[in-house]
Amino acid sequence: MGPLSGVRILAISQYGAGPFATLHLADMGAEVIKIEDPNSGGDVSRSVIPYSENEDSLFFQSLNRNKKSITLDLKSTEGKAVFLKLVEKSDAVFNNLRGDVPERLGITYQQLKHVNPKIVTCSLSGFGTSGSMKKEPAYDYLLQAMNGHMSLTGEPGGPPTKYGISIVDFSTGMMAALGLMIGLYKAKVDGKGEDIDVSLFDTSLSVLNYLAIWHLNKGYEPLRTTSSAHPTLVPSQLFETKTGYIMIMCNKEKFFRILCEEIDAEHLARDTRYQDFQSRFDHKETLITELERVFLTETTKTWLSRLQGKVPIAPVNSIQEALNQSIVHERNMIVKVDSDNFGEIEMLGTPIKCESFTPDYKPGPKMGEHNEEIFEQLLGLTKNDVERMTDPSKHRDSLYKA
């Protein structure tokens, strides 16, 4: 039994950020029921290339393991009636629709509390469920551009650059999962649910954090830095070696002294120009030039053997190298799941470790795989009811966020 066993979440969500939010809750034992639109082919991520077949994809599998799937048209009168029956028996309704759609679809707390006063409704959208931009579509890269992330990423003089992964989607998914759990805790305490509103915009803005407070209070204007350097701490950046790159992070005064000793450059630690954070920042050009010369004299492997455990250091790994690190297996971060379409799939496990529980990973569901279990066994509907309700007799434009 997982720590969230007994928690039932209805998930009207697809693609990345939304499914990522409920992925970790499902791993922890929550019953996450994906509601897929039978008129639109269900979750669009089922067809995401390059590895897609038979209404399934490795992309879909990466975000939807341990979940259930039902097909239900929420825009039909019959579909909405069945949905309300599900709300009666659930703890939360989660969605990642555009900000104006939950109210139009009738899935806000005010619209559902008469059915279940304890229901928690969590909305993950681009710009929130209020404000002048709630009707605007949003995607990860757009928010990276809009909220300053791209202006900070890349080399000085080069073009603004996005992250290598969909970091805004994933960080917003984490915040939505946290928000949903806060709502569930409150509902357990006082018996009342509520709307939880999480957006890509708010989350991507919030992670500016210390840069924002520096700017708001002191007018600080962050700029892109050479060699992925920290904006103020020196030396904390990439250095090229004979065989690649290493990242050094001297984020405590003691680390600079130790670094100088270990690379046979004690004279730098004694130099009055480099005595503390401020002086090293003021003279960073001369210091970095000296250090660059030193690090080019040996291989990445040599520097790692000399510095690991003494100074914060890491190699710049490829994805292959990252996944082959011994600690990946020590931490049980690669798990195996048997699937119908792709056979045994290796994927990354949950980063949440509970002493009393180890997740049992199951593949992402086929579309509508759990119709019988949910509609007939949970709600008591007949087979004829289910067949009529899940047969997409005509195409309808989906309200789901792509």
Q: Any idea what the Cα angle at residue 288 is, between residues 286 and 294, rounded to 5°?
A: 110
Q: Tokens in use for 156?
A: 């000085």
Question: Is 129 in contact with 135 (CB distance < 8 Å)?
Answer: no
Question: CA-to-CA distance for 39 and 26, rounded, in angstroms?
Answer: 26
The continuous run of DSSP H or E covering 61 comes out as: helix 58-64
Q: Tokens in use for 402?
A: 């792509």
Catalytic member of 24, 230, 283, 395: 230
Q: What is the DSSP letter of 344?
A: E
- Single-letter residue type at 254: K
Question: CA-to-CA distance for 290 and 347, rounded, in angstroms?
Answer: 43
377-381 CB contacts, 8 Å cutoff, 24+ apart: 378/86, 378/89, 379/82, 379/85, 379/86, 379/89, 381/82
- Active-site residue flag, 283: no
Positions annotated as catalytic residues are: 230
